[in-house]
Amino acid sequence: MAVKYDEQQKIFHIFSKNTSYVTGIVREKYLTHLYWGKRIREYHGSRSIVWKDRGFAPNPDDTDRTFSLDTLPQEYPQTGNGDFRSCAYGIRQENGSRISNLEYAGYEIVDGKEGLPGLPASFGRDDQVQTLYIHMKDPAAGLKVRLAYSVFYEADVITRSVVFENASGEPLTLTKMLSMSVDFREDDFHVLTLYGAHNNERNMDRRPLTSGMVSIESLRGTSSPQQSPFMALLRKDAGEYQGDVYGASFVYSGNFVASAQVDPYRNVRFQMGMNPLNGDWYLKPGETFYTPEVVMVYSDHGLMEMSHIYHEFYQNHLVRSSFAKKPRPVLINNWEATYFDFNEEKLLSLAKKAADAGIELFVLDDGWFGHRDSDTSSLGDWVTDLRKLPHGLGQLSEKIHAMGMEFGLWVEPEMISPDSQLYREHPDYVLHTPGRPCTLGRGQLVLDLSRKEVCDYVVESMARVFKEGHVDYVKWDMNRHLTDVGSAYFPPQQQGEITHRYVLGLYDIMERLTAMFPQVLFESCSSGGGRFDAGMLYYMPQTWCSDNTDAICRMKIQYSTSLVFPPVTMGAHVSVTPNHQTGRVTPLSTRGYVAMSGNLGYELDLEKLTSQELEEIKEQIAFYKSIRNTIQLGMLYRNENPFESNTVSWNFVSKDGHGAVAFFVEVLSPAAAPVRILKLKGLDPDALYKNTKDGCVYGGDELMYTGLSMPLKKQDFRGECYHFIKM
């Protein structure tokens, strides 16, 4: 049992291995939040609500001025009747009223967890997860709301989502429908978010909460590189390995909002869900609306433990692909090697070099279809360009397979170029608002995935290409954000639904294609890590982490991405120097170490390398194959934070504890350089470990507490790597 209802106190105690979450019913109808934090055995009314008459706080019961929704810690707050803080949901009735007031209406506790129709969601067996449904109703509006809390006891995770049902006789518009709202009765927090841009995704931003609201969002139609759908509240003393951390990660790939609002009495409202701006939903009588879910993690051992919980949970309870627990192949991708300028001969000689180096998967990137010699044409025309590949995709794939490699293909199925056959035949397939011009992005337009026939077109054309190319791997790209959002196929009152319908259309396409091609390894991409979110991971077990392949930038991007996502979900490639994004020249060894910290790939013209460089790459690949289980399926420990220092270090420990790999990178070579010490984490202190390179033996305790002295080198961007085997 992970949920208990105490009839006498009228409280629900939800608990996992190390976490308790308590919510209760006050005055028969209000659902109040009581506690989220370290596990307690039982709740006996501690941290009771202190009732107080506060100025300007309205009173629903005029006999008691101490009771106000404005000061009540709420579980799913409404708007319009006295709570002036950020509401969790909003409605508009046909009569124009926007007021709503939910009352408690019962509960159910069930073993297991239902899926969310049309949406990605975590899953678990009946003996792994238990769900509490709290039923609420607003009789005046005829609205029913079901709050779902699923508790994964061992995984130490609670998920939340909401279902709205229009039980009235007339339509109702949902104007806001968040998935999570938690009222903390304290404000001693920092807030941590991940912001960025194309080529510079997921920078860590940690700032104290003061007054007012910290809010992040995406209105771009995808989760976006600008803000990641993740927010954590941290105690001020919390760090990687100590202190209270409360994480919220959204299983959704579209517009979102996350916020932390401090009220005048130093309480904090922590919320996450779909972005209400341009995102309402018209609910006809009898219809329901499901929100995506939020995955909530509490840890009292800092960010690293929070990350471990997310990593394990996403690998075990979110990624559906059969690749979730399989080692991923070392790949070569021709993008930075050739861009659009290639032919079959060039690809085959690149592939031959790759196969000789030990590479296992050849990925043909953009430019193989239509007449696409630049990014200005052909999206939507998924037909092989016979000028470049005169023998067709099938034959190219056959030749790659004959070299002993798998064959992978790049596609960008959600898009359409104005210069395409598809556009000439179906201009109406474009996402657009009738009567307004369409805005181009990267010279392309977006398909209207809110329409079933457009989704069908995408599924059919992709299925044909995947079959023709006998593909083992697909890189699914998405290179612009949504503008001019609207659809001629929905009535005016449903135009606010189109952004979400786009995401639902995308999920439907991915659902169908991943079911048709279960043997294919899908890698999601949006100009790199522009849509690196838990929603995409449900369908596609890895993501191209960033278009920025510069090792020094990548250290940071991969470090912060690992706050939520495990290294096995991150595509990481060695590319040429000077680097195409930054112009920086870094040692090949350092580029290798950073890329080896995720799913290793190469993205450069192997034919232009010296024999010495090729030899080094061969060695990297052989070495990576010997450690890849530890990297991809083991545990990551972050040691030195590149956002705070000139160095980064992290290490991996295999699940069986047998192998450990540590990486260290120093960015700039300092004058009067201090000797840096590398301390590993996660080892068995009582065991002995042998360095596979020089045979030296150390105790696990030594490696963790005494540490290793890093050699002094007068070299910028230098890296070191150590591989240990437990004796």
Residues that bind ligand DGJ in the complex, under the rule CB under 6 A: 335, 365-366, 410, 477, 479, 525, 527-528, 544, 547
For 261, 317, 347, 559, the CA distances from 194, given in Å and listed in that order, are: 18, 23, 37, 11
Neighbours of 49 (CB within 10 A): 17
Q: Which is nearer to ligand DGJ, 73 or 530 (CB)?
A: 530
Complex with ligand DGJ: residue 477 or 533, whichever CB lies closer: 477
Give me 110's structure tokens: 């069930």
- Among 70, 83, 187, 477, the one annotated catalytic: 477
Q: Is 613 exposed, middle or buried (0-12, 13-18, 19+ CB in 10 A)?
A: middle
| 468 close to 394: Cβ distance less than 8 angstroms | yes
Q: What is the DSSP string of 646-685?
A: SEEEEEEE-TTS-EEEEEEEESS--TTPPPPEE---S--T
| Cα 686 to Cα 484, 683, 689, 695, distances in angstroms | 62, 9, 10, 19
Shortest Å distance, C-beta 333 to ligand DGJ: 7
Rounded distance between C-alpha atoms, residue 617 and residue 592, angstroms? 8
Pick 486 or 601: Cβ nearer ligand DGJ: 601
Structural contact between residues 409 and 473, judged by C-beta atoms closer than 8 angstroms: yes
Report which residue's Cβ sits closest to ligand DGJ.
Answer: 366
Least separation in angstroms between CB 477 and ligand DGJ: 5
Least Å distance between CB 169 and ligand DGJ? Answer: 50
**Residue closest to 234 by CA, chosen among 183, 298, 159:** 298
Asked whether the beta carbons of 588 and 571 are under 8 A apart, the reply is no
Residue nearer to ligand DGJ on the CB measure, 123 or 544: 544
Distance separating alpha carbons of residues 465 and 236, to the nearest angstrom: 52
Closest C-alpha to 666, from 723, 725, 711, 609: 711
Nearer to ligand DGJ, 442 or 693 (CB): 442
Distances (CA, A) of 25 to 31, 53, 83: 5, 20, 17
The one-character DSSP state at 74 is B
Q: Which is nearer to ligand DGJ, 178 or 553 (CB)?
A: 553
CA distance 360 to 351: 10
Among candidate residues 187, 365, 385, 547, the one labeled active-site is 547
Taking the complex as a whole, the smallest distance from the CB of residue 448 to ligand DGJ amounts, in Å, to: 22
Q: CB under 8 Å to 48, separation ≥6 — which residues?
A: none
Region of 336 on the Ramachandran plot (φ > 0 left; ψ -120 to 50 alpha; else beta): alpha
| Inter-CA distances, 721 with 163, 229, 366, 443, 444, Å | 50, 33, 34, 43, 43
Closer CB to ligand DGJ, 353 or 475, in the complex:
475
Q: What is the dihedral of CA 698, 700, 701, 702, to 10 degrees?
A: 30
For ligand DGJ, which is the closer residue by CB, 166 or 444?
444
Interaxial angle between packed helices 588-596 and 611-633, expressed in degrees from 0 to 180 and rounded to the nearest 10: 20
Q: Which helix (H) or strand (E) holds 343?
A: none
Q: Which is nearer to ligand DGJ, 104 or 362 (CB)?
A: 362
Rounded least distance, CB 77 to ligand DGJ, Å: 40
Q: Catalytic: 237?
A: no
Residue 477 known to be catalytic: yes
The answer to whether 546 and 622 have CB atoms below 8 angstroms apart is no
Task: Tell me which residue of 536, 544, 477, 533 sits closest to 511, measured CA to CA.
Answer: 536
Give catalytic residues, as residue numbers.
Answer: 477, 547
